[in-house]
């Protein structure tokens, strides 16, 4: 059973009691990410996420770590393109500690100058590590290629140039404008009582202001691009992608099934054809990037330079096949059973339940039951999948990003086409 309350200042609290659980996972989500940054401050959301763990007026960074470790809990955070999250997994008996700690780090961070300079060095090392990890870097570059100058294309980490120039006043101003009540969501799942949690947050969030509305940037345009980055590596890492759907699109259930059939597991078409049948890649898969108003379907592979053209052609062939041929009833039923199993297994994790609650609140504004989700999958037909693939798989929306010894790939003789 999902409970939802909205505090007077606009903070939303959504919870799910999990019978038999001994723990609670509680997250403080802020509807703020790399999409909400200016070009000159690219990476500031991620920088701020790091800084909020570095101490408050009441707790040092060591105090924060020790307080969680002393009760066997786990504390972490992450930044996305449209949200930031700080979460704690803890025994239910220690939930008041988690509530107090989350609020303290979210709104009372010192943002000390010396800590900022130390953490700047850490983030710069994170950026260098990304540059040295081509199978991660290619996804970041693909987003930049796919979305172009739109804010969705900005790197979550920022760049060496922007991270080097972000100062304390920038962080304070960004924090004050973006970490306001109307943009905050408390999401919790496990052994808890909704009303008790609401009372706790109502007391300590009372002085948080509602904040100003910050509309999203304009809708992104879908285009056709191909970019290559030459690097001295053993493999060529490539992402081939097309437009997808927003998070709340009515056809999202069909898109999940299409991705499952295409490349989300070892039984998928891509894995079987590229790895099992041809032995052309160790890592081959597809995934979805869905946002408030737009999305992408991305296919990834790491392969030898001599095999890159063939891998891309096989990827195109699978997209073409989805567009031109209806999947069999048997294959669609298999995919539905797979997603059903994935969904039900995810229910055993309070982390997953907490995340699901928050994302449903952000993107749907409501909380469909697991039965509703499974019913959404069950309604998808082979014809609906083919029509969706026809909508997605068009030459004008194809994008390619390659990283590695690309000069060894004779890509000029190859045409990026599904026709």
pLDDT at residue 216 in the model: 67
Q: How many domains does the chain have?
A: 2
Same domain, 233 and 164: no
- Which of 204, 234, 259 marks a domain boundary? 204
Same domain, 232 and 334: yes
For residue 214, tell me if it sits in a domain. Answer: no
CA distances from residue 4 to 197, 208, 240, 357, 402 in whole angstroms, order as listed: 11, 19, 40, 10, 45
Is residue 230 within a helix (H) or strand (E), and if so which, with residue range? strand 225-230
Q: Is 49 a catalytic residue?
A: yes
Same domain, 44 and 174: yes
Same domain, 132 and 260: no
Output the six-digit token pair for 45. Answer: 């959301």
Output the six-digit token pair for 178. Answer: 């973006």
Same domain, 239 and 374: yes
Same domain, 27 and 92: yes
Same domain, 45 and 191: yes
Written as tens digits, the pLDDT of the chain (419 aa) is 899 999 999 999 999 999 999 999 999 999 999 999 999 999 999 999 999 999 999 999 999 999 999 999 999 999 999 999 999 999 999 999 999 999 999 999 999 999 999 999 999 999 999 999 999 999 999 999 999 999 999 999 999 999 999 999 999 999 999 999 999 999 999 999 999 999 999 988 878 887 777 766 678 888 899 999 999 999 999 999 999 999 999 999 999 999 999 999 999 999 999 999 999 999 999 999 999 999 999 999 999 999 999 999 999 999 999 999 999 999 999 999 999 999 999 999 999 999 999 999 999 999 999 999 999 999 999 999 999 999 999 999 999 999 999 988 877 656 788 88
For residue 386, tell me if it sits in a domain. Answer: yes
Same domain, 328 and 400: yes
Strands 12-17 and 2-6: antiparallel
For residue 241, tell me if it sits in a domain. Answer: yes
For residue 212, tell me if it sits in a domain. Answer: no
pLDDT at residue 413 in the model: 59
For residue 215, tell me if it sits in a domain. Answer: no
pLDDT at residue 379 in the model: 98
pLDDT at residue 414 in the model: 63
pLDDT at residue 405 in the model: 96
- The residue whose two tokens read 């002393």 is 70
- Which of 170, 204, 238 marks a domain boundary? 204
CA 46 – CA 156 distance, rounded (Å): 7
Dihedral sign from CA coordinates of 365, 367, 372, 376: positive
pLDDT at residue 205 in the model: 87
pTM over 0.85: yes
For residue 146, tell me if it sits in a domain. Answer: yes
CA distances from residue 189 to 1, 106, 356 in whole angstroms, order as listed: 10, 20, 10
- Which of 171, 204, 237 marks a domain boundary? 204
For residue 418, tell me if it sits in a domain. Answer: no
SS3 (DSSP) at 327: coil
Q: What is the DSSP letter of 291?
A: -
CATH number of the domain that residue 89 is part of = 3.30.830.10
- The whole domain housing 258 covers 225-413
Same domain, 49 and 186: yes
CA 48 – CA 171 distance, rounded (Å): 6
pLDDT at residue 217 in the model: 67
Same domain, 381 and 289: yes
Q: Which of 31, 49, 67, 119 is catalytic?
A: 49
For residue 154, tell me if it sits in a domain. Answer: yes
Same domain, 122 and 197: yes
Same domain, 366 and 408: yes
């Amino acid at each position: 059973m999902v409970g939802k309350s909205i505090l007077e200042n606009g903070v939303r609290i959504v919870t799910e009691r999990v019978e038999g659980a001994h723990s609670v996972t509680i997250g403080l989500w802020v509807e703020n990410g790399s999409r909400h940054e200016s070009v000159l401050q690219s990476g500031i959301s991620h920088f701020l996420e790091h800084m909020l763990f570095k101490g408050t007026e009441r707790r040092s960074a060591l105090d924060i770590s020790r307080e969680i470790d002393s009760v066997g809990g786990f504390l972490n955070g992450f930044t996305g393109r449209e949200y930031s999250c700080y979460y704690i997994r803890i025994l239910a008996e220690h939930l008041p500690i988690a509530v107090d700690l989350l609020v303290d780090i979210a709104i009372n961070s010192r943002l000390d100058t010396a800590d900022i300079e130390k953490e700047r060095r850490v983030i710069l090392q994170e950026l260098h590590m990304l540059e040295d990890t081509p199978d991660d870097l290619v996804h970041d570059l693909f987003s930049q290629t796919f979305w172009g100058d739109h804010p969705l294309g900005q790197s979550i980490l920022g760049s060496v140039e922007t991270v080097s120039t972000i100062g304390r006043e920038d962080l304070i101003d960004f924090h004050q404008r973006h970490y306001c009540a109307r943009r905050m969501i408390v999401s919790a799942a496990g052994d808890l009582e909704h009303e008790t949690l609401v009372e706790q947050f109502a007391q300590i969030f009372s002085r948080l202001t509602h904040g100003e509305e910050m509309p999203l940037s304009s809708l992104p345009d879908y285009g056709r691009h191909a970019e290559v980055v030459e690097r001295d590596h053993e493999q060529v890492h490539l992402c081939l992608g097309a437009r997808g759907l927003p998070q709340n699109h009515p056809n999202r259930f069909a898109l999940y099934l299409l991705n499952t059939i295409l490349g989300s597991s070892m039984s998928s078409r891509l894995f079987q054809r590229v790895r099992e049948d041809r032995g052309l890649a160790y890592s081959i898969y597809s995934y979805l990037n869905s946002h408030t108003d737009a999305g992408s379907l991305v296919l990834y592979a790491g392969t030898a330079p001599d095999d890159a053209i063939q891998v891309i052609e096989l990827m195109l062939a699978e997209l073409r096949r989805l567009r031109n041929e209806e999947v069999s009833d048997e294959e669609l039923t298999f995919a539905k059973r797979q997603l059903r199993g994935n969904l039900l297994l995810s229910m055993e994790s309070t982390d997953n339940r907490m995340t699901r609650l928050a994302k449903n609140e952000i993107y749907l504004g409501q909380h469909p039951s697991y039965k509703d989700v499974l019913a959404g999958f069950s309604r998808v037909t082979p014809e609906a999948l083919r029509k969706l693939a026809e909508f997605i798989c068009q030459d004008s929306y194809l994008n390619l990003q390659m990283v590695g010894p690309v000069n060894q790939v004779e890509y000029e003789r190859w045409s990026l086409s599904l026709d």
